Amino acid sequence: MASSKRRDLAGDEAGDARCPFLRCAELILPWLTPRELAAVSLTSAPLRRASLSVSLRRSSDAARGLEPLPVPFLNAVDSRPYAYFLYTPSSSRVLSPPNDAALPRQSWGGASRTLARSTAFPDREAEDVVGDVVLGCDCERCEGHDCACWSGDGGGQGEEEVEVVVVRSECGPGCGCGPECGNRASQRGVEVRLKIVRDEKKGWCLFADQAIEKGRFVCEYAGEFLTTKEARVRQKEYDELALSQGFSSALLVVREHLPSGKACLRINIDATKVGNVGRFINHSCDGGNLSTVLVRSTGALLPRLCFFASKDIQEGEELSFSYGEIRVRSNGLQCYCGASNCFGILPSEHT
């Protein structure tokens, strides 16, 4: 009996594959948002099966084939199969669309992984529209030369605090060397096995799926480069959503002090709508196991924010870093990092 049921199912699937309408659907479904996919799946059993396949393929690789290794979603706590956002391996490739424009679509979960590459981002140089020089940086801890600080959104209610990070130079487009050059560690994408695991309290969390030695590059914090004006508008929108719907946003502000010591370059990276696996890294009050490094490639105006292992990391360990130390709101979002020195609330700072 069971085997005849299996045969029926296999027969249905073979029939589905031969139907021209379903072959078209296979091409279209990967371009749909989860909401659109759910609506389509209600229309017929074959479309429900096709939509389910798309969801399964999406949950098997958050990076949609754009990184050297797949990064799966694992969820044992609720029914969400994956988080939906547009994937970019590196910040420098994307541009924020105008406020009122819909985000471009990106194919995800199709039978062919190569479709993900046809993302419709405008083909313009990001660097001519982002990166604000701010005179008289208000960061008190940075002394000016060769230092940088960053702050980020800790789940609403303003940006987070400012943290000193290291600045590193790598080879760039103008250097004669190729992609295998040892001085391009952060330019080859995610080369360590990672997985994204759902937690009841923290939402999605990025985990190491292999041991990672201290100092090794883990991933970039990739997202949309925004102007400061756009960042402030978005921050306000995210704060409201965080308070009303428990929304998780991922907007970081990096300030790199210019050599004069009298100005800093403010870079706003928003991974909320367009990002990479870095957007799943949670905060830890003890500093976690990742260090943040600003990497500037020769010839590039804007640096990229990159994560390196700050200690030896075991397979199965959650990856985390400190979002900062300032908490401007005593009623900020609750922190569940579990560190012995946990403050109880996530860092936050005024935008």
Ligand X SMILES: C[S@@+](CC[C@H](N)C(=O)[O-])C[C@H]1O[C@@H](n2cnc3c(N)ncnc32)[C@H](O)[C@@H]1O
Q: Which amino acid type is present at position 61? A: D
Radius of gyration (C-alpha) of the chain in whole angstroms: 21
Check binding of 282 to ligand X (CB under 6 A).
yes
Q: Which amino acid type is present at position 285? A: C
The residue among 99 and 334 lying less far from ligand X, judged by its C-beta, is: 334
The residue among 15 and 344 lying less far from ligand X, judged by its C-beta, is: 344
Whether 294 contacts 254, CB under 8 Å: yes
Check binding of 273 to ligand X (CB under 6 A).
no
d(C-alpha 32, C-alpha 51), whole Å: 10
Check binding of 283 to ligand X (CB under 6 A).
yes
d(C-alpha 53, C-alpha 51), whole Å: 5
Check binding of 336 to ligand X (CB under 6 A).
yes
Q: Give the burial string for 197-214 (b: 16+ CB within 10 Å, else e).
A: bbeeebbbbbbbbeebee
Applying CB under 6 A, what is the total number of residues that bind ligand X? 19
The residue among 106 and 248 lying less far from ligand X, judged by its C-beta, is: 248
Check binding of 85 to ligand X (CB under 6 A).
no
Of the residues 30, 131, 155, 332, which one makes contact with ligand X according to CB under 6 A:
155
Task: Mark the segment that binds ligand X (CB under 6 A) among 11-19, 139-147, 222-230, 277-285.
Answer: 277-285
Q: What is the DSSP string of 191-239?
A: -S-EEEEEETTTEEEEEESS-B-TT-EEEE--EEEE-HHHHHHHHHHHH
What sign has the CA pseudo-torsion 226, 100, 30, 24?
A: negative
The residue among 41 and 59 lying less far from ligand X, judged by its C-beta, is: 59
Of the residues 144, 203, 261, 287, which one makes contact with ligand X according to CB under 6 A:
203
Check binding of 204 to ligand X (CB under 6 A).
yes
Task: Mark the segment that binds ligand X (CB under 6 A) among 3-11, 47-55, 253-261, 274-282.
Answer: 274-282
Enter the DSSP assignment of 146.
T
Of the residues 184, 279, 304, 327, which one makes contact with ligand X according to CB under 6 A:
279
Binding site for ligand X (CB under 6 A): 83, 154-155, 201-204, 248-250, 279-280, 282-283, 333, 335-337, 346
